[in-house]
Amino acid sequence: MLQALTPILSALAIIVAVFGAWRNVQESALRRDEVLTWANEAITALQTLLLLCMMPASRIGAAPWKEKLLQVIFDTSVLVERGRMFFANVKAGRHGRDAESAYRGHRPRILDHLVVAHQVACRLDGADADSVKRMHFIASTALREFVSLAQKEVGRSRTVSGETAVAGKFSELDHLLKQIDEKRFAVFLESRHR
């Protein structure tokens, strides 16, 4: 009797194992998608801050500039807290021992860049020219390091298409302006006026 059940039990064990593996793959893909969505929102906030550091309020208007800055202040704060859902603090000795569980230990490095961006955004309005330049540098570094960490978390080491893996060419605007084929440019202009 036991010998007759062995194939059935083996088949059930295989089904359970396959289902478990499928479920793990689905959960992993869901987490990756959620982290990617969060990372894209963070990149938007970090890039917006970088542009605000580069463009004085007088260039785009004081009201729109301040509105964008205020949005970055709110977004970076919220993104840090949302990021805690994906990246737990690193437990380290007694640091934060009396805090709530999500805040015990040291914040993960990927969230540090959003915290720094939040601090820059809070101080940018009214900062002197030298401080703005320094905060611009800090905002640029935060963006680059965040993107690098996020890419490691959700990105692929290789692209799907071989064409997108080819190294880019020189794309400095002054160089490209000098390289314009005048005949092709004339055709382009003509096609826009039709």
Residue 107, C-beta contacts closer than 8 angstroms, at least 6 positions apart: 89, 90, 115
161 Ramachandran zone, left/alpha/beta (phi>0; psi -120 to 50): beta
pLDDT at 28: 54
> Torsion over CA of 7, 10, 12 and 15, rounded to 10 degrees?
-120
Q: pTM of the prediction? A: 0.73
**pLDDT in the model for residue 16:** 62
Question: Burial code of 5-23, b = ≥16 C-beta within 10 A, e = fewer?
Answer: eeeeeeeeeeeeeeeeeee
pLDDT at 165: 65
Tell me which residue of 103, 104, 83, 80 sits closest to 92, measured CA to CA.
104
Q: Where are the alpha helices (DSSP H) in 84-172?
A: 109-124, 129-154, 162-165
- Residue 158's CB: how many other CB atoms inside 10 A? 9
- List the chain pLDDT tens, one digit each, 194 residues: 667 767 766 666 666 666 555 555 555 555 789 999 999 999 999 999 999 999 988 899 999 999 999 999 999 999 999 999 999 988 776 666 677 777 888 889 999 999 999 999 999 999 999 999 999 999 999 999 999 999 998 876 566 666 766 777 767 878 778 888 899 988 888 888 77
**What pLDDT is attached to residue 67?**
97
